[in-house]
Amino acid sequence: MAIYSFWVYDRHCNCIYQREYSPLTASTSTSASATTTSQTGSTPRLSQSNSALNNSSVQRFQQSGADNSDTTISNNTSLGSSSVNNKIQELLNNGSINAINDNNVSKLLFGTLFSLRKISISLTSAPASETTDDEVFSSHTSLNKFNELKSFQTLNYKVHFYETLTGLKFLVVTDPTIRDLQLELRNIYENHYLNYVVRNQLCQVEFKEHEVISNDKFIQSVDAFWSGLPEFIS
């Protein structure tokens, strides 16, 4: 299993879409300080299945699981063997959708990314004292001016990151051995997000707090896209 989860954050830092193919840990461990926990290999993990099952969107997805997996199979003709298809289907059905958008994991992930993004931008620009607030603002909106964060990784996982000019952030958590998936994230924005969210008149463009993308077309096409990649099962 090489692609673990996929996240979309809007420009107000809210998680508007979260799709998990394999659970991220909700580590509630209170043990020890930062340096010691990062050295010990095992951290206590809490299963997320309980919280996931309570969510209505998950239940709804599982009901419509049959139609969804059909589309997946038809898009995966290249994979051929039915055992692979069964495995993909199982992963798609077992995962959760929009179950932990406001969870600590989601916030930690965003916080990590936000700090790293800030470091990569500030290190390549002049020190803050020499630029005014106006300049900082305009440099964020101007094209290709700043150094963009691409990915970060540990020995266990890798997070790929793509940010649009409008401040939407696309994230995918994968195996550390996987090639750069920035182009794929861009593809999702251009071909899936734009088609099924922005051009959908019934779907809002600006998300309020606790509002998420619950658009079945978007969910299905993104699932089909990720499961169609050769990296989805490694």
Binding stretches for another protein (CB under 8 A): 1, 4-5, 22-25, 27, 29, 34-39, 41-43, 45, 105, 108-109, 111-112, 115-116, 118-120, 122-129, 147-157, 173, 175-176, 180
Q: At closest approach, how far in Å is the CB of 189 from another protein?
A: 17
Q: At closest approach, how far in Å is the CB of 18 from another protein?
A: 13
Question: Which structure tokens are listed for 16?
Answer: 């508007």
CA distance readout (Å), 166 to 10, 58, 188: 9, 29, 15
Helix, strand or coil, per DSSP, at residue 222? helix
* Rounded distance between C-alpha atoms, residue 166 and residue 52, angstroms: 30
Of the pair 41, 80, the CB lying nearest another protein is at: 41
- Give Dmax (Cα) for the chain: 61
Q: At closest approach, how far in Å is the CB of 141 from another protein?
A: 18
Burial class, 164, CB count within 10 angstroms (exposed 0-12 / middle 13-18 / buried 19+): middle
Of the pair 121, 203, the CB lying nearest another protein is at: 121
Q: At closest approach, how far in Å is the CB of 127 from another protein?
A: 5
Of the pair 149, 212, the CB lying nearest another protein is at: 149
